[in-house]
Chains A and B, each alone.
Chain A
Amino acid sequence: MDARVGALGRLTARRAVEAVPLLLIVSGIAFGLLQLVPGGPIEVYLSNPGVRPEDLERLRRALGLDRPLWEQYVSWLAAFVRGDWGFSFSDGRPVLARIVERLPASLELLGASLVLALAAALPAGIIAAVKRRTSTDRAISALAAVGVSIPAFWLGLMLQLVFAVGLGWLPSAGRGADGDGLARLQYLVMPAAVLAFVHAAAWTRYLRASMIEVLKSPFVAAAGARGLDARTRITRHALPNALAPVATVVLLDAALMVPGAVVTESVFAWPGVGSLFTEALGRRDYTVLMAMLMVSSVAVVAFNLLADLIHAWLDPRVAS
């Protein structure tokens, strides 16, 4: 057991070290993109007739934009690490505060979609694999193939057309007023369903393939030969082994759900970090965009590590 914990510790340390160059590269790209904007970081002031050329020059000096590029990069990065993420171009408030205030809505949506997606993908993947090549499998597989081929934003638009515009059952966008329990749940239904469907489709496909592989292995046949019924064979013998690789995929996807939710959140005007990103994109609010790129990269790296650790825990062959 100790050896296993040690191996996991070494894996963590190695991955943490490997993450450093990756985050540096992302920060370099984020910083570099800002330099490519015509007009640079003070682009917003260029079109303002109230701002005189000498003001621009003063602003440039005050913001340190006259210093060499690498110096600007280093001081930006140092400030970023300290949690000083600068101020939003569009409303002048601290970037950190703008992101933090959007988190609850995002976590609510992600939590709901994660639960929905797992609740759909686990049974669907298992049933499709067990009933392989039957009409049940074909129906599940076809639906899953549609799920990985559909643009999330278009699915969102179509749901809005049917359930909000056509039938009038659900509100088409927004999150509802505070403290309005059940009515608020209605706002959550469509965005959560879209996000869940897209991810459940991918997970169902992985789980089905993984289950089919495991069901072919000799130990499952041996369990059958020993007289174990199908139910035990599938749930106790095949499933734990099929889940290990799927768990990795689910965790990696969960990390990518945050950026993935950008599309869904903006279609449904869900006030989370995802729609903050598209708002910032529309207003060319580069401080917000850079911070969000960095935050989501850190999140993905962290989830990657978590996925590796869990995989190593479930399958000791990986750690050694």
Chain B
Amino acid sequence: MKRVWLWLAVLAVAAMAAPLLAPYAPDALDLANRRAAPSLAHWFGTDDLGRDAFSRALFGGRVSIAIGLLSALVAAGLGVSVGAVAGYVGGWTDTVLMRATDAVLSVPRLLLLMVAAATLQPSVPALVVLVGAVGWMETARVTRATVRSLLGAEFVLASRAVGAGHVRILWRHLLANASGAIRTAAVLAVGRAILVESALSFFGVGVQPPAASWGSMLYQAQSAMTTEPWLALFPGACIVLTVGLLTAVSDRADQGR
């Protein structure tokens, strides 16, 4: 577990400190060194403009990880709100909200997102909202389930008896107890958001140049696959590593509970 967190921390720091760590500027052209295979000078090789793929992967990681984290935050916010209201209010509100959750779960989300991204041509912040908007359902479900199950618990009744308001009961007692499950769902959501963003960008409807994410690097690499395979290898490996570590974290958290 510790090792998994350590690796995640390394990745996060590498992405955050990209300007310090990158040996070259991500968009610096070096026309004498175009399409160079990986070497000591260029760890991940160079592309058709002579840009250093390692530096670009570091900066691309920033975009991918930032979109993953922020959309998971959007998803968690939406999910917790929907779940908390549904669970706490109950009755018709609960029925409508949970039916809506089921409905969103049974929509072909990736297709809808691809069409939406193609028509709206979103900026990175808009992309964060779009990706977050399709990832909140699991969080809503676990939040609602915990809130519902604890609503009649004695410590909640006691708190109500001494005059605590709805907000305090929800926040201090109900959501506090759901926080473990919410956190696990959020970790999973980060990984899933990174995967969704990479698919959108791979189809050219996600992150647009001059910005680059791992997914959009793969989009560019696809046309030169046979001559410069390294351009396709490394960004993808970065995605698998990042999402794999996040999966491992949430798996361990599941076992712990």
Q: How large is the interface on B (under 10, 10 to 19, 20 to 34, 35 or more residues)?
A: 35 or more
Given A36-B119, A150-B240, CB of A158 within 8 Å of CB of B233: yes
Contact B239 A154 (CB under 8 A): yes
Q: How far is the CA of A135 from the CA of B79 in the complex (A)?
A: 37
Binds A, one of B23-31, B137-145, B179-187, B222-230: B222-230
Contact B225 A26 (CB under 8 A): no
Residues of A within 8 A of B226 (CB): 165
Given A34-B119, A293-B108, A300-B108, CB of A25 within 8 Å of CB of B103: yes
B199 interfacial by beta-carbon distance below 8 Å: yes
Q: How far is the CA of A18 from the CA of B248 in the complex (A)?
A: 37
Contact B99 A158 (CB under 8 A): no
Partner pick for B103 among A22, A149, A266, A293, CB 8 A cutoff: A22
Contact B199 A281 (CB under 8 A): no
- Across the two chains, which residue of chain B brings its CB closest to A33? B119
Residues of A within 8 A of B244 (CB): 145-146, 149-150
Closest Cβ of chain A: how far from B109's Cβ, in Å? 8
Interface centre among B108, B205, B246 (most CB of A within 10 A): B108
Contact A145 B106 (CB under 8 A): no
Q: How far is the CA of A156 from the CA of B233 in the complex (A)?
A: 11
Binds A, one of B10-18, B85-93, B110-118, B148-156: B110-118
| B window 212-257: CB within 8 A of A | 215, 218, 222, 225-226, 229, 232-233, 236, 239-240, 243-244, 246-248, 251
- Across the two chains, which residue of chain B brings its CB closest to A36? B119
Q: How large is the interface on A (under 10, 10 to 19, 20 to 34, 35 or more residues)?
A: 35 or more
Closest Cβ of chain A: how far from B197's Cβ, in Å? 10
Interface centre among A34, A153, A260, A297 (most CB of B within 10 A): A153
A121 interfacial by beta-carbon distance below 8 Å: no
Contact A297 B115 (CB under 8 A): no
Partner pick for B205 among A149, A160, A165, A281, CB 8 A cutoff: A281
Contact A300 B112 (CB under 8 A): no
Q: How far is the CA of A150 from the CA of B218 in the complex (A)?
A: 13
Q: How far is the CA of A161 from the CA of B236 in the complex (A)?
A: 13
- Across the two chains, which residue of chain B brings its CB closest to A166? B229
Residues of B within 8 A of A86 (CB): none
Contact A22 B232 (CB under 8 A): no
Closest Cβ of chain B: how far from A208's Cβ, in Å? 11
Closest Cβ of chain B: how far from A129's Cβ, in Å? 14
B68 interfacial by beta-carbon distance below 8 Å: no
Partner pick for A157 among B110, B205, B222, CB 8 A cutoff: B222
Contact A148 B247 (CB under 8 A): yes
Interface flags for A10-47 (1: CB within 8 Å of B; 0: not) read 00000000100110011001100110110000000000
Interface centre among B107, B236, B239 (most CB of A within 10 A): B107
A263 interfacial by beta-carbon distance below 8 Å: yes
- Across the two chains, which residue of chain B brings its CB closest to A252? B106
- Across the two chains, which residue of chain A brings its CB closest to B242? A149
Q: How far is the CA of A25 from the CA of B99 in the complex (A)?
A: 13
Residues of B within 8 A of A154 (CB): 198, 218, 232, 236, 239-240
B195 interfacial by beta-carbon distance below 8 Å: yes
Residues of B within 8 A of A123 (CB): none
Residues of B within 8 A of A98 (CB): none
- Across the two chains, which residue of chain A brings its CB closest to B204? A282
Contact A292 B120 (CB under 8 A): no
Interface flags for B115-130 (1: CB within 8 Å of A; 0: not) read 1101110000000000
A95 interfacial by beta-carbon distance below 8 Å: no
- Across the two chains, which residue of chain B brings its CB closest to A30? B115
B43 interfacial by beta-carbon distance below 8 Å: no
B136 interfacial by beta-carbon distance below 8 Å: no
B191 interfacial by beta-carbon distance below 8 Å: yes
A188 interfacial by beta-carbon distance below 8 Å: no
Contact A278 B203 (CB under 8 A): yes
Contact B111 A158 (CB under 8 A): no
A237 interfacial by beta-carbon distance below 8 Å: no
17 other A-B residue contacts (CB within 8 Å) besides A150-B244, A151-B236, A293-B115: A26-B112, A36-B120, A145-B244, A148-B247, A150-B239, A151-B202, A154-B232, A154-B236, A154-B240, A161-B225, A161-B229, A161-B232, A278-B203, A281-B115, A281-B203, A297-B106, A300-B108
- Which A residues fall within an 8 A CB radius of B? 18, 21-22, 25-26, 29-30, 33-34, 36-37, 145-146, 148-151, 153-154, 157-158, 160-161, 165, 256, 258-260, 262-263, 266, 277-278, 281-282, 284, 289, 292-293, 296-297, 300-301, 304
> What are 7 sample pairs from A and B whose C-beta atoms fall under 8 A apart?
A36-B119, A146-B244, A149-B246, A259-B110, A263-B199, A296-B111, A300-B106
Across the A-B interface, give the 6 residue pairs with the lowest CB-CB distance, nearest first.
A154-B236, A149-B243, A259-B108, A149-B244, A296-B108, A22-B103
